[in-house]
Amino acid sequence: MVEKTVDQMINESIVVSQFYDKQIEMTLKYFENTNPVERILKTIDPADEELRKLTRDKTTGMMNVWLDSYARSLEQSKDLPIDLLGNAADLAKRIRKENSKDIV
């Protein structure tokens, strides 16, 4: 079995971290860019009251779907901080173990 060097583990950790960062960033951008209030209601001409009322009614339904989707995303990611901290702890443990072998 081939053991990883500390440098390999650190490089792998950096790549994984960048992947997580990118995925989280893309998810947040998705929700920011699909927010019905920001994308629809705020772009309607305030002078056209009939259009605003029609749009507001339809946007309410869209907003419920958007909020449900956001809530499901938060539910799916509830363990993410624990997983990330666990990965960091595992890496630190391996590095400590590797360093202690070098000292002996």
pLDDT at 101 over 90: no
Q: What is the per-residue pLDDT across 9-50, written as a single tens digit (0 to 9) for each?
A: 788 888 988 998 999 999 999 999 999 988 888 888 888 888
Which two three-digit tokens encode residue 57?
């009614």
Of the ranges 8-12, 63-67, 79-83, which is most confident? 63-67
Angle at 90 between CA 87 and CA 94, to 5 degrees: 140
The model carries a pTM of 0.67
Residue with the bigger pLDDT between 2 and 36: it is: 36
Q: Report the distance separating Cα 34 and Cα 66, nearest Å.
A: 8
pLDDT above 60 for 2 = no
Q: Write out pLDDT tens, residues 84-100.
A: 888 888 888 888 887 77
Residue in the block written with tokens 């893309």: 26
Q: How far apart are CA 72 and CA 91, in angstroms?
A: 30
Closest CA to 70 of 40, 20, 19, 36: 36
More confident residue, 49 or 66: 66
**Every domain of the chain and the residues it spans:** 23-103
Please say if the pLDDT value at position 6 is more than 80: no
In whole angstroms, give the CA distance from residue 71 to residue 56.
Answer: 22
Q: How far apart are CA 64 and CA 92, in angstroms?
A: 43
**Contact present, 58 and 44 (Cβ < 8 Å):** no
